[in-house]
């Protein structure tokens, strides 16, 4: 693995994953720890699990039963659990798209800190990262390390297709081309302002 992780946070991640597995609640590891699990580098340090919305109350009950504090924030796309101040997000609607059985099939079974668990694919991670960019938040510095470190595992054609409506994703993909991280399809040379 490319960098050390916080042992307390890793322990919390393992307890959440083990609890969801024991309760037979479908889930996938997402966010920066999924990048880590794939062998990549992320600038974030948070724990995100993807679950279906219909499972959120069951998940909160199971985690509360083993001592986690639970929170249902005003945002209508996630719930949160805490262990000794360490926060875990249980996300059921990332980037305005519900988590479905299909989402949870787009995973790889990977041993994360010695526990085998489903981890969202590198391609889906990149799609979620690009679709999180908006006029209110557009920090490409969070996406560049992910793109660079996982580029061989990412289906870039699918990324382009699934983020095609986002001008922010388009700008990011153009930046990757200019930095020689990933080439645009067809090898076409694009320059700022459309100049070639």
Q: What is the pLDDT of residues 94-106, one digit of tens each?
A: 999 999 999 999 9
Q: Give the pLDDT score at 181.
A: 94
| Cα-based distances in Å from 73 to 19, 79, 131 | 22, 6, 22
Q: Give the DSSP H or E segment for 127.
A: helix 122-131
> Residue 51 in 3-state DSSP?
strand
CA atoms within 13 A on the CB side of 193: 1
Which pLDDT value is given to residue 43? Answer: 63
Question: pLDDT value at position 192?
Answer: 47
Q: Are residues 141 and 104 in the same domain?
A: no
61 and 144 inside one domain: no
According to the model, what pLDDT value does residue 154 have? 97
Contact 109, 91 (CB under 8 A): no
Q: Indicate whether 111 and 173 sit together in one domain.
A: no
Q: Say if residue 83 is in the same domain as residue 38.
A: yes
Q: Tell me, yes or no, whether 39 and 111 share the same domain.
A: yes
Last residue of one domain, picked from the residues 120, 155, 186: 120
Please indicate, yes or no, whether residues 27 and 101 belong to a single structural domain of this protein: yes
Residues 99 and 191 in one domain: no
Predicted pLDDT of residue 184: 76
173 and 113 assigned to the same domain: no
What per-residue confidence (pLDDT) applies to 1?
Answer: 40
Give the domain-ending residue among 80, 98, 120.
Answer: 120
Total domains, the chain: 2
pLDDT less than 50: residues of the chain: 1-2, 190-196
Clarify whether residues 33 and 98 are in a common domain. yes
Hey, which residues does 111 pair with through a beta bridge? 116
Picking from 63, 97, 120, the residue at the C-terminal end of a domain is 120
Domain around 15 = 1-120
Prediction pTM value:
0.88
């Amino acid at each position: 693995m490319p960098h050390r992780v916080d042992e307390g946070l890793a322990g919390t991640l393992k307890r959440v994953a083990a609890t969801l597995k024991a309760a037979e609640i479908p889930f996938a590891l997402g966010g920066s720890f999924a990048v880590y699990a794939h062998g990549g580098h992320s600038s974030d340090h948070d724990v995100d699990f993807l679950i279906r919305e219909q499972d959120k109350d069951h998940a909160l009950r199971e985690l509360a039963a083993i001592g986690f504090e639970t929170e249902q924030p005003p945002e209508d796309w996630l719930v949160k659990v805490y262990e000794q101040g360490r926060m875990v997000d249980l996300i059921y609607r990332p980037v305005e798209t519900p988590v479905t059985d299909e989402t949870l099939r787009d995973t790889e079974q990977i041993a994360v800190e010695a526990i085998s668990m489903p981890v969202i694919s590198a391609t889906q991670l990149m799609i979620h990262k690009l679709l999180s960019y908006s006029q209110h938040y557009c920090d490409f510095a969070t996406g560049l390390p992910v793109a660079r470190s996982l580029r061989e595992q990412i289906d870039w054609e699918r990324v382009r297709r699934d983020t095609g409506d986002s001008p922010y994703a388009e700008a990011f993909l153009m930046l990757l081309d200019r930095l020689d991280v990933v080439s645009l399809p067809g090898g076409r040379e694009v320059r700022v302002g459309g100049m070639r």
